[in-house]
Copies of this chain bind each other. A is one copy, B any other.
């Protein structure tokens, strides 16, 4: 493998080890030492790829975001009719399968970590609110949204519903199977649209 690709692949392996550490013990377990151990690397070898814990956590989080974005791009390329397209895109924001469940846990732990670290200066940059807003605009532009809906407030509601469902599925996966969680979001979107 060319060196650059090899370097990037290694960084991704380390990021995935980071996820595993966070999933097992929360963000407080995500020390460079623990991550190196999980990735089967010496501290020195890990520092070759990431010089600080912050840099590593940022990378691990960006990887969550870019994987989710890549899945959404795949959905968008399928040419679904508008309502189905919106539903499928928004389902990608929920932790439905094992992989997205892991991503969600990492996102959750990392977001809280940043909020505590940055306090009032914290800004949410995961792009979920923007994705929800664009989805609702798209339904409106295609004549699917029921009349008398205030787009701004519908965005807040749907955005809260998505993050709330994600958290409930994380906390109680036995009650909230992936299928059941998807069903609830799908029904919610149906309710927003005309018959």
CB-contacts of A162-177 with B (<8 A) = 162-165, 167-168, 170-174, 176
A120–B115 Cα distance when bound, in Å, is: 26
Query: Is B157 a contact partner of A161 (Cβ separation < 8 A)?
Result: yes
Copies in the complex: 2
Task: Confirm or deny: A112 has a beta carbon within 8 angstroms of a beta carbon on chain B.
Answer: yes
A124 to B171, CA, bound (A): 7
For the complex, what is the distance from the CA of A187 to the CA of B183, rounded to whole Å?
23
Whether B153 lies near A163 (C-beta < 8 A) is no
How far is B122's CA from A26's CA once the two chains are assembled, in angstroms?
15
The answer, yes or no, to whether A141 is at the interface (CB within 8 Å) is: no
Partner of A162, one of B27, B109, B115, B164: B164
Contacts A26-B112, A156-B176 supplied; 5 other A-B pairs, CB < 8 Å: A153-B183, A156-B165, A156-B184, A157-B184, A157-B188
Min CB distance, A101 to chain B, in Å? 13
Q: Is the CB of B163 within 8 A of A167?
A: yes
